[in-house]
A = this chain, B = another copy of it.
Amino acid sequence: MNKNALPIGVFDSGLGGLTAFAELKRIMPGENIIYFGDNARIPYGTKSPALIKKYALQDTRFLTSVGVKAILVACGTVSSNCLPDVGAESGLPVTGVIKSPASIAAKIAAKGKGTVAVLGTTATVRSGAFQRELETLGVKNVIARACPMFVPLAESWHPSADDAAANAIAREYLSDVALKQPDAVILGCTHYPLLSDVIKKFFPGSALISSGRESAYEMRDVIVSLGLENRGGGEYGFYTSDDADLFKRSAAAFLGDEITGEVKKIDIEKF
């Protein structure tokens, strides 16, 4: 089989990574893509580094068992805790959700006050991966804030900008970060764009950067630079470790559109 025709594999702890999938599909319409959401074990961001690595390697082995030419880790927690392990396990080109958004944030900060805020899961912030990347890129002031309630909030309902509960939770996490008026705010978890109407209110003068959406561009660069582009593809497959119908319904709510392609349930513990 022509290697270029192999799909790009995308995985996340659940549905958040669909923000990366959607952008990848949009900017690389000739690619085949398969998506795996580990809905059986979501969330990852509150769990230990050792367990996150175990889950990431199982997710990787599932994708390589199906056959992919590259892997986009569309999960901030995995990207920041064990991205090199995904590369080593798969032997494939692997990109995460850190480099592209950090690069854009650094460019914005260079023209502003030099301040970037990173919002992420507990495990993402604890890893320090975004912070290191931004400091390497010369950002002077990096503020990282763990927002553990944001994933269940995004999954429970899609709060409007004036939702009382969502605003109260956001205030808990963001009030003091907002006082710093960062030039850019990285949504370092791929679920957070669902809360952007609420988050935006705390940062009226800041650029909000979706790590999931931006991550598609790094994958495109890698695919192009390795000569792995495909034409005439556009086939999509979805896999979940929990109920397939539930995935389909939730994905539609998440993307604001029906997903096209079959959804299959797999037992991730076997990988």
Contact = CB atoms under 8 A, between A and B. Distances in A.
A39 B164 CA distance: 30
Interface in A241-266: 242-243, 246
Interface of A: 39-41, 46-48, 50-51, 148-149, 151-153, 155-156, 164-165, 167-169, 171-172, 242-243, 246, 269
A82 to B, nearest CB: 15
Contact of A172 (B39, B46, B149, B164): B164
A146 to B, nearest CB: 9
Number of chain copies forming the complex: 2
Nearest to A167: B168
Given A39-B47, A46-B155, A148-B156, 9 more contacts: A40-B51, A48-B243, A50-B243, A51-B242, A149-B153, A165-B168, A165-B171, A169-B169, A269-B269
A240 to B, nearest CB: 10
A242 B165 contact: no
Contacts of A153: 149
Contacts of A269: 269
A225 to B, nearest CB: 38
Nearest to A14: B46
Given A149-B152, A168-B165, A47 B40 contact: yes
Contact of A48 (B50, B152, B242): B242
8 contacts: A41-B41, A48-B243, A148-B152, A149-B165, A152-B152, A165-B165, A168-B168, A269-B269
